[in-house]
Structure 1
Amino acid sequence: MWMPPGQNQSWVSEFILLGFSSDPTTNRIFFIAFLLLYLSSVLGNGLIVTLICLDMHLHTPMYIFLCILSLLDIGSVTTTMPLMFVHLLTQSQTISFAGCWLQMYVFSALGLCECIVFVVMAYDRFVAICYPLRYTVILSWGLCTRLSAGTCACGFFFSLIHTFLTMRLPYCGPNMVNHYFCEGPSVRSLACMDTHLIEMVDLVISVFMVVAPLSLIVASYIRIVQAILKVKSIQACCKAFSTCASHLTMVTFFYGPATYIYMRLNSSYSPEHDKHISLFYNVFTALLNPVVYSVRNKDVKRAFLKVMGRGRGAW
């Protein structure tokens, strides 16, 4: 079943990423559009990270996890989009076998980390609403540190399994990947052998890293809704629902497309359809994250005005 180490690399030494179009004019338009999206994502998430680091009032578990989410979003778009910009402006659309391996590993690792961070954020909201008086005791800095470290460890470990299994497959041609970056399913579809067993292993990983976290999020919000309905104050209920709405919005944008892409077999793989769907959990989620979490958040707005006030005072 497995090829000897290194043999698959002697067959295919590089891949060609087809991207969205082969027309130079269309690619220049895509370049401008995606560059604006990329810069907005990085600047928006970078602003969130900066505000949380500078304002002591935001040094709470809720905002620490939001900071981690923003860093993951920055890393995710930076893993895929700069190379896409190069391909949009040049005739060359190649990526080396090692480069494809690295891009796939880092992107899937950050994505898996993000899956777990959403669960941790749901747990944070559960404790804050159901046990408000014990919030700081339950979510101590020690627990937050362990949750953050565990999130990174799980993400990068399971991504290594996924990437290793995919890139150890024999690739003897064609080497044209109908995508704008090296994503597991798109590369695996080019393998010169039956990938059914590898798909089953990937499905198990997806169940563990996608379905299980999503189930925990749903369970947390069931308990949260039950607790909110017991509150007699309408204003308190609205505030609690508003806090949870931001998190639920981002969970929907991230988990919906990601579940569709990774929890199915190659037989239902549709390159043109899938590379557009991947934009949602790669680009648009990173773009919406700072908007959703800051527009209706008074603490973030206050921190922004405070930092801007300091800047004007310095001048």
Structure 2
Amino acid sequence: MQHIGTSFTNRFFEILIPGTSAPNEVMVSQRCDYGTNDSDYRLLTDDNLNTWRDELKRFMTEQGWEEARLSIALPYNQAYVTWVYVPADADKSVKKQQIEWAISQQLPAPVSEYKISVLDEDKDSETSLRIRVVAMEKRLIKKLIGITRTCNLTLKALLINSFALENFIQSTHNDSGLMHILKITPRIIENHLFENGRYRQTYLHDTKQEDFTNPGQIAEIINSANKKYGQYNPEAADLPTQALIYGVDELEHLMPELAKKTNFPVHIPEVVHQSSGESAVLAIEALGALL
């Protein structure tokens, strides 16, 4: 069965077909505007989701497909992500109680309205475990599943973009050290931080629409977040560091100035587009969700 991926910003969304030769290859891509000016915090409104549904149907028709699998990468602020610490010898019941209590401190509504997913757990110390937890609104999940069924699609993956990015860099980068991946959008800049290929945390920065491609602002966000993480995790302070930035077409001409203002190398992710036309600036999210 064919497979497509999709990802979102507050201004537009993209639909793509992955290539077959490499994990960073795009065969076909399409970018679609919502026609609204909602901020990222209200991006998945009914109107926007209806536009997404209609474009998915059109995309399927253009490809001549009757069915396909779909993988979705959602913006970070469409869910709640946290680390929960529990005793190393805690049983399942204790873990469940601790997870629900910890995530409830972040949620604006009762825990019962969210799907709680435990992604993995690490040994934090000899006496404690660190568990990575994601909470997503059941109502949103239900809407997304309903749309995929309407389009005769099978939902293969529904990921927050930080975890899609983790999949992408683990399949395309062998570098150890710290990596900042910045998603640049007109109202919010997401700074996802990875240590030795593993996702660690995300910093969100509100920004004015007229300033979101300001090289000085972007450099300040990268440099300050790196310093903040180094204070939080001193062992990471001496690791080699780099940054990837993506999200808008305007980034290419910012790179020379941005390189002068950051404390470490900054790149645009390498994505191979097999077809001519508009490039998929969100490709690394959708490709990561497809992996």
**Taking structure 2 as the reference length, what is the TM-score of the superposition?**
0.24
Larger Rg: 1
Structure with the higher fraction of residues in strand conformation: 2
Structure with the higher fraction of residues in helix conformation: 1
